[in-house]
Structure 1
Amino acid sequence: MSSISSKDTPELKELRAFMVKEQIESRGISDSKVLFSMENVPRHLFVPENLRPYAYEDRPLPIGMNATISQPYIVGLMTELLELKSDDRVLEIGTGSGYQAAVIGKISAEVVSFERIKELVSFAKENLKKADIRNVKVFFGDGTDIPEDLGEFECAIVTAASPDIPKYLFRYLKEGARLVVPVGNQCVQELLKIKIHRGKPEISYHGSVRFVPLIGDKGWN
């Protein structure tokens, strides 16, 4: 396929269905809400136009500014770990192209996302508009040093490699909230799920991953 337009054609829907079946469901992602969302969010709208022919392949893709859109399986895994409900508010650190937020937004009530690269803020907002995702709010700013007037969230997700568990996000999380974050050095990390139970974090581990580093006041310099 030499080129792909922004129109969501039957051929693209077929490619997306194949992606979900072969790359995501076959590897153990079973949450029907996640599978439905990923089959209905047009991933090709969230990559640079010259990379659209590769949008449904099993790999991350560069989106400029030393950032990437994650491999579809990783997006599915992190979304499933959030245990999303339809009335959840979700905090995202690292908007990127907006794809992860769009997948979450198809399931939850609201996504509040922070991106520190101004060009990517514009890119994500444009992509979300094209995909008709209206419950994602994208803000320009350091996601490791966000305002204190955001209210509370049922979920949070960090889409870049954090040097440590981001305890600074705990104050935004309700009892029972879920936080998914890759933690480790700048080469390889462990994907963590942290659940707030009786005010304390319960941590589980979900395999090795590789993300670009989280840059910010409480990230990597």
Structure 2
Amino acid sequence: MAFFGIELSPELKAAVAAERDEVMRLWSLPDRFLAEDLLRKVRWVREAYPSHFHRQPGAMGNYTTSFVWELVPEIAYRLGARSFSPQERTRADVRAADGVRLRHWLGHSLNGMPEIRDAWNHLEGAANPWHVLTRECQNGNPVVFALDRIAPPFDDSDDLPARLLREVSWHRGFEPVSAWSPELQNYVSAAALPSLDDEEEEALPEASGPAL
């Protein structure tokens, strides 16, 4: 396994595999169990990386703090969770948001949050909860597919996750879809194909569409 030609260490390979397995486990959970699992993960990351998530009570915060204190707990609530800490779900505008607004909020948060470098120090062959919660939408983000259950996207939804999924699913050879499912991982990556010499490349017909 390699990213852009960089060979991954055995530890990182194990962490990537563990993250993939964790996403599949979360996908299979009923709503209430998925909600509780998301809450456990978001509370773990707040405790593990407190400097990234501190905010004054009642403050609006930024993409990162609103993600862990407001968005994930609100999605968990709508999936059936009922026990929250005093600082979770405090913003009335998030609690009152309809599904479309919540989808936009989540998409912009995932797109705007910085990387937490310390999260790479907690690998040890396991799935880091922060990496699971902020995983790429096209490879299965559990916060996004949790929201899909309560506010499904339409074919023309223009929130960032839905637009990204339509683009990526088409490039992977599927009919464009606005929501992720495990079937979207059943594609052949260009990086996994054998290389062709010049003569073989010249013999190939021109592609009928763009490649990812």
TM-score normalised over the length of structure 1: 0.26
Query: Which has a greater percent of helix?
Result: 2
User: Which has the higher Rg, Structure 1 or Structure 2?
Assistant: 2
TM-score normalised over the length of structure 2: 0.27
Tell me which of the two structures has the higher relative contact order, counting C-alpha pairs closer than 8 angstroms and 6 or more residues apart.
2
Query: Which has a greater percent of strand?
Result: 1
